Amino acid sequence: MVKKEMGYKAHALILPYPLQGHINPMLQFSKRLVAKGVKATLAATIFTNKSMHSDPTGSVDIETISDGFDDGGLAQAESTELYLSTLESVGAQTLADLINKLRDLGRPVNVLIYDGFLPWALDVAKRFGLLGVVFFTQPCAVNHIYYHVQRGLLPLPLAEPTVSLPGLPLLQASETPSFVSDSGSYPGFHHLVMNQFRNIDEADWVLYNNFYKLEDQVVEWMAKRWRLRTVGPTLPSMFLDRRLEEDKDYGISLFKPETQICMKWLQDKPKDSVVYVAFGSMAELGAEQMKEIAWGLKASKYYFLWVVRETEKAKLPENFIEETSDKSLVISWCPQLEVLAHEATGCFITHCGFNSVLEALSLGVPLVAMPQWTDQPTNAKFVEDVWKIGIRTWRDEKGIVRRETVELCVRQIMEGQKGKEIREKAKNWMILAKEAISEGGSSDKNIDEFVAQLGSS
């Protein structure tokens, strides 16, 4: 009765891990909930909230919690391990304070939708009698592997050169996530990804930012264990079903995109003539690797748009930007969705973070996969061998992708029969992605089912 008087079916508090690649998918899902009659409030850390270059405003409210490092986030902490332990202790307390605050303001929360990286949030939800819903921003295949490790079903270090798990293709050890293939690396993040599953059996719902046909076999396996639903792709509606008229971009950027420069440069380029290159918000390539990519791009003779963060520009060859200016635009950050959606974009050289893969797949853009760490090697395996929307680069004995490889992979995508087949596959997946989130599609039905449950609880 109270909810009806307030004009919404339920009030969902959304808690992402404080990284852009986690915030935006959960924000986009929030917008879908609002469109179906649910009130949504995004809980950002104080530092994240101060760092935003744009504001989602409109349909989703923003409140803040603390991660204990309000002036610098992770960069302010002495170590990853300290940051994560403080995020848990301070985050849990300030999340509880926020739930109490919203109740006192007459906007009581009914459901907490929390990032899989933050399992402690479920404990807070249960303490308040809220529905606890875990939202995963990485693919089912990757989390399937992590689950088997966390439950002791896949012991580390790996004893065999291959990994065979139900619902997945046979994987080479190097095709598993880096925290599995190199189990001693980055212990803080290793614990973070494995710990996602410590209390998943107690979650009321398990939601994934993908769509059923993309990972049907592993989704079926997981759905037998949890109340699991796929609810993606969680891209702005403008790029998919166009049902949410105001939903034209993600709404939050922790980096300032140079949108006008980018789009103006693309405007007069021929169809499928530009190679877009970007390695996300976290990857840091070595100077030797940056130089090899640079010379490979130049040798390909294609136009290229390369996102190189300001902190990485010193790694480029001397005078490279000036020498290639007739064929290139090197920029510190760009509106990736708009670039991928532009008809001039012919392929995407990517680190294979899942957001980038899902964006390219949803917009029909073929990929050159150059994975770095975490989930990316597994995503790259699926890009080439399962979804067949791109090709993987290969490294030499020093772990470097050489310029000849960069040039060859670009040419394979942009020219010839193999490139044509990959492009056709990419277009097919684009159609399936849009179908899933459109009215009556698999993800849309799953969101309806979820909202109906919220409304009745």
Residues designated catalytic: 22, 115
Are residues 118 and 112 in contact, defined by beta-carbon separation less than 8 angstroms? no
Strand partners, 14: 42, 113
**Chain position carrying tokens 């986690």:** 22
Give, for 299, the enclosing helix (H) or strand (E). helix 287-300
Residue in the structure block whose two tokens are 């610098």: 72
Residue 437, burial from CB neighbour count under 10 angstroms (0-12, 13-18, 19+): buried
Range list of H helices, 15-111: 20-35, 46-51, 80-104
**153 HSE (CA, 13 A, CB side):** 13
82, amino acid identity: L
Sheet containing 390-392, strands listed edge to edge, beginning at the edge strand earlier in sequence: 328-331, 303-307, 274-278, 345-350, 367-369, 390-392
**Euclidean distance between CA atoms 272 and 51, whole angstroms:** 35
User: Among 23, 15, 25, 18, which residue's Cα sits nearest to residue 362?
Assistant: 25
Q: CB burial class (10 A; 0-12, 13-18, 19+) of residue 212? A: buried
Strands 274-278 and 162-163: unpaired
Distance CA 325, CA 328 (A): 5
Q: Which amino acid is at 380?
A: A
* Tokens standing for residue 209: 């930012």
On whether the CB atoms of residues 350 and 382 are closer than 8 A, the answer is: no
Q: Which of 384, 382, 348 is nearest to 365 (CA)?
A: 348
